[in-house]
Amino acid sequence: MQAKAFSAFQRLKTMATQKPCFGQILYPHLELLEVSPEAHLTFSLPIHKDFCDDFGLLSTGTLTTLLDATTTLTVWTLNESSTLTLSVNMNVSFYGSAKIGEIIILKSKCTSIEGKIAYTQGEIHKNNQLIVSGLQNIILTHKNLPN
């Protein structure tokens, strides 16, 4: 499971370098910390000024992007074929943010895959306190991802 998670994580970083996107700034700093046998993934991310708004805080958009990326990685880790995914529904609650110099911990898991839909959950913590939680539905297209 660890090898599959690492492979999915490398794929995300590679894809971010191939086309201009916000991931080019974020993903190189994301570190995969832990992979459970059930493919629950844990990441850390130190907050840099490039991620933040004019007030030095992570925006809700950035936090949502991180939640989307980490839950997608969980689905990629579980799926035997490297499938292309499409996020179709997110329900995100914000309880706080993070600022430059802080480290956030991101946790993601897939609760089930039913047909072509993966149901995922993600959380972002700072100093052991929950700052973001979310539920996401991801469609699996069953097409191979580009190398």
What are 42-60's pLDDT values in tens digits? 999 999 888 888 899 998 9
| Per-residue pLDDT, 38 | 82
| Residue span of the structural domain in which 116 resides | 2-144
DSSP secondary structure, 11-78, as one string: HHHHHHHHS-STHHHHGGG-EEEEE-TT--EEEEEE--GGGB-TTSBB-HHHHHHHHHHHHHHHHHHH
Give the residue-averaged pLDDT of 97-122.
93
Report which residue type is found at 127. Answer: N
**Assigned token pair, 98:** 């993070």
Half-sphere exposure of 4 (CA within 13 A, CB side): 18
Give this prediction's pTM. Answer: 0.83
CATH number assigned to the domain comprising residue 7: 3.10.129.10
Structure letter (DSSP) for residue 52: B
Cβ count near 65 (within 10 Å): 18
Tally of domains within the chain: 1
Residue 145 binned pLDDT confidence (cut-offs 50, 70, 90): very low
Which H or E run contains 147? none
Please calculate the CA angle 99-87-126 and round it to the nearest 5 degrees: 20
